[in-house]
Amino acid sequence: MSKLAVNGGTPLRDAKANPWPRWPVWDEKEEKGLLEVLAGGVWSYNGPKELEFNRAFAEFTGAEHALSVANGTVSLQLALEACGIGLGDEVIVPGLTWQATAAAALDVNAVPILVDVNEDNWCIDPAAMEEAITPRTRAIIPVHLYGGFADMDAIMEIAGRHNLRVIEDCAHKHGGEWKGRKVGSIGDAGSFSFQLSKLMTAGEGGAITTSDSQLYEKLDALRNCGRRPEIEQCGDKGAGHYGSEGDFIQSGNYRITDFQAAVLIESLKRLPEQNAIRDENAKYVNSLLSELPGVTPIRRDERETMGAYYNFSFRYDKSQFKGLDVAKFREAMAGELGCDVEASYEPLDVCSLYTPHTKPCRHKLSEEHWRQIDPARFSLPVCHRIYREESVCFHHTILMGTKADMDLLAKAIEKIYDNAEELL
C-alpha cells in the first residue's frame, strides 16, 4: 500500500476541505475606494488616489519620493533611463531572477551582464559582481529574491568605489528591512511590482522610490510622455500646468490608473501585519527545517531586521533522500499539501522567456552589441545547481497560515523522507 499522496495515499492536508489562505486579500475598503474613483471621474493619472498612494508609499519606504507606474518591468526600465544608462553601457544583474530584471537593461539598449548568486540565499554574489565590472559598467540591479536579502552593505560599498548606480529590484520584498532601512531606500532607486502574485497588488502596477530629487523629476517626466510638471502635481482631469517647451523630454506612457491606486492604498495598509505573520511563520518553519535531514533553510542575514517573503523556499539535497530527484520531491510535497510547489526561476542564460536573439529588429544595434547580449556567453553554475537540483518554492500565501500549517510543511518533508523508495 502506497503511503505518499502522489501514489494514491492519503494526503496530509485535504486542501479542498481545508483550503490555504486566499490571495488577493480585499474587503469593503477596496470596494469603497474603487467606487470613489468611479464617481470622482479622475480615472487616469495624477488623480487624488495616486497622489495619496505615492505619498504614503514614499513615507512607508523611507525614500523621499515614490512614483506609481504601469508595472514592475517598466519601473526598472525607467530607473535605468533616468540614470542616463543606454547604448554602450553595461548593467550587472543576477542570473537568478525574473526575466524583467535583465530585459529592462536590454530595452534601454544597454548590455545586461549576468552574474552568479550565493548558494545560501540565492541573491547576487558581491564578489562575482565586482569581478564582472568593466570600464563600461554603469549600474547594478540587485534583486532581493524570494525571501533572501541581497548584501546591501557589500553592494553599496563596491558600487561606491566604482561609481555605479544601484537600482534595487524590490518586486519580492515590499517592506523588508536591512539594518532598520526599508528596501527601495538603500540604493539610488527602488523598483516595485504590484502584479497579482506580489506582496502588494492591484492586479498590475509598479512603483519607483528614490531620494534623489533629480532622478525623481526625470522619472516623473519619463512615466508621463515626457511632460515636466511645473507645479508638483495637478490632480485635475489631465489638463495641468506643464513646463515650457524646452523642458520636455522624449518618452511614452507608463502610468497607472486611479483605480489601481485606490486598491494599493488599502494593500499598503495591510502589508505590515501580513509581513509580520509571514516573517514569524517563516522563522518558525525554518527552525523546524533546520532539524530535518536533506533540507536547508535559506540563510537569513542577521542584518535583516524585517523579513519579507514573495516565496517561501528551501534547499533540497537528494543524496539524503536516497537519490530522489528534486522534481519528484516537489510533486510529492504538492500532493501532500495540496498547493503548488515550484522550482526557482530558470537561470537567465537558458531562460525560455529571456531570449534577446529572437528580436533582431529591436536588438541588433551592431554586430558587437548582438554578441554581447547573448545570454549563453555567461557562466552561472550556482544558479544552475539551485534551479536543477536544490530549489523548492512555495507562494507566500502558504506563510499566511497557522502554526499548524507550518508544522504540516515539516511533516510532509518527513513523510517523503520516510517513504522515498516509493518514488525511486
Cα 80 from Cα 74, distance rounded (Å): 10
Q: Are strands 111-115 and 90-94 parallel, antiparallel or unpaired?
A: parallel
Q: How far is the CB of 58 from ligand PLP (least distance, A)?
A: 19
Instruction: Return left, alpha or beta for 207; rule: phi > 0 is left, psi -120 to 50 is alpha, else beta.
Output: beta
Closer to ligand PLP at the Cβ: 193 or 344? 193
Return the number of the residue (195 or 210) whose C-beta is nearest ligand PLP: 195
Cell numbers placing 404: 499548524
* One-character DSSP codes across 314-362: EEE-GGGGTT--HHHHHHHHHHHHTS--B--PPPTTS-TT--GGG-HHH
Pairing between β-strand 165-169 and β-strand 189-193 as defined by DSSP bridges: parallel
> Is residue 285 helix, strand or coil?
helix
Active-site option among 198, 237, 411, 415:
198
Q: Which is nearer to ligand PLP, 201 or 420 (CB)?
A: 201
Q: Which residue is nearest to ligand PLP (CB)?
A: 72
Using CB under 6 A, list all residues that contact ligand PLP: 71-73, 97-98, 100-101, 143, 169, 171-172, 193, 195, 206
* Neighbouring C-beta atoms of residue 6, cutoff 10 Å: 17
Calculate the CA 190 to chain-centre distance: 11
CB of 310 to ligand PLP, least distance (A): 7
- Asked about 198 being catalytic, the answer comes back as yes
- Integer Cα distance of 399 and 274 in angstroms: 9
Shorter beta-carbon distance to ligand PLP: residue 54 or 195: 195
Q: How far is the CB of 417 from ligand PLP (least distance, A)?
A: 31
User: Smallest gap, in angstroms, from Cβ of residue 236 to ligand PLP?
Assistant: 28
Question: Which of 163/352 has CB closer to ligand PLP?
Answer: 352
Asked if 152 contacts 130 with a C-beta cutoff of 8 angstroms, the reply is no
The DSSP 8-state label assigned to residue 99 in this structure reads T
> What SS3 class is residue 29?
helix
Nearer to ligand PLP, 201 or 281 (CB): 201
CA 184 from centroid of its chain's CA atoms = 12
SS3 144: coil
The least distance separating ligand PLP from the CB of residue 192, rounded to whole angstroms, comes to: 8
* Smallest separation, CB 194 to ligand PLP (Å): 7
C-alpha cell at 308: 519579507
Q: Which residues are catalytic?
A: 198
